[in-house]
Amino acid sequence: MTAYPLILTLDPHGAPHRWVTWQHACFYYAKDLVAWAIGDNSFVIHGGLNRLTGLRSEICANSIIAIKGRALAGRQFQQVPPLDNRELFHRDRHICAYCGDSLPSSKLTRDHVMPVSQGGRDIWMNVVTACRGCNQRKSGRTPEQARMQLLYAPYVPNKAEYLILSNRQILADQMDFLAQHVPSQSRVRL
């Protein structure tokens, strides 16, 4: 079976929504739920053979499709994306927020700027990437208490940034589209 990339879905107004598999995209096409499609890439997915005609069914899916229905822009585009280490490390470009070293994921940890033990929460605005050594040195203290300077501030990635952070195999046309929705102050590599 051919490996297809993930398909970028949008709301009817063009706001980025989520990644779906080619199977999901075929469902949207088959149910006539695709409002419009763009992108430089399209993929032909072949189905089974019709016993009567001997013809094989096929669906041509674009790399970026808008799904019919309610607009998601106001509600979901502003929704806080889920926090996990993989996307956190990507957001912070694999750079320790304290010593500035660039390291592989296996040598990085999630540090709570305001420690959980002092009432800090596990949210985007309170976490940064830290190497193991700096995280252990800081321990359960704030950067000020540990006399460690924070080199960059945490922030909540928007929906487009999160979609970039969560997919390692983005097609060029998908990246071009998402890049238009990324704020200029973002640390996400484009």
Nearest Cα to Cα of residue 166 among 80, 106, 102, 81: 81
Is 70 in the same domain as 94? no
pLDDT tens-digit map of 63-108: 999 999 866 544 554 577 889 999 999 999 999 999 999 999 999 9
| Beta-bridge mates of residue 125 | none
- Residue 20 in this model has a pLDDT that exceeds 60: yes
Q: Compute the distance between CA of residue 160 and CA of residue 181 in angstroms, rounded to an integer.
A: 6
Indicate whether 54 and 103 sit together in one domain: no
Give the integer Cα–Cα distance in Å for 151 and 147: 13
Q: Which of the pair, 69 or 190, is modelled with greater confidence?
A: 69
73 shares a domain with 12: yes
In this structure, what CATH number is given to the domain that contains residue 96?
A: 1.10.30.50
- Threshold 0.85, pTM exceeds: no
Query: Domain limits at 101?
Result: 85-138
The reply to whether 127 and 92 lie within a common domain is yes
What is the model's pLDDT at position 45?
A: 87
Q: Check: CB of residue 190 under 8 Å from CB of residue 175.
A: yes
Question: Does residue 187 lie in a domain region?
Answer: no
Number of domains in the chain: 2
Q: Where are the beta strands (DSSP E) in 31-155?
A: 34-49, 56-67, 108-112, 127-131
Residue 165 lies in a domain: yes
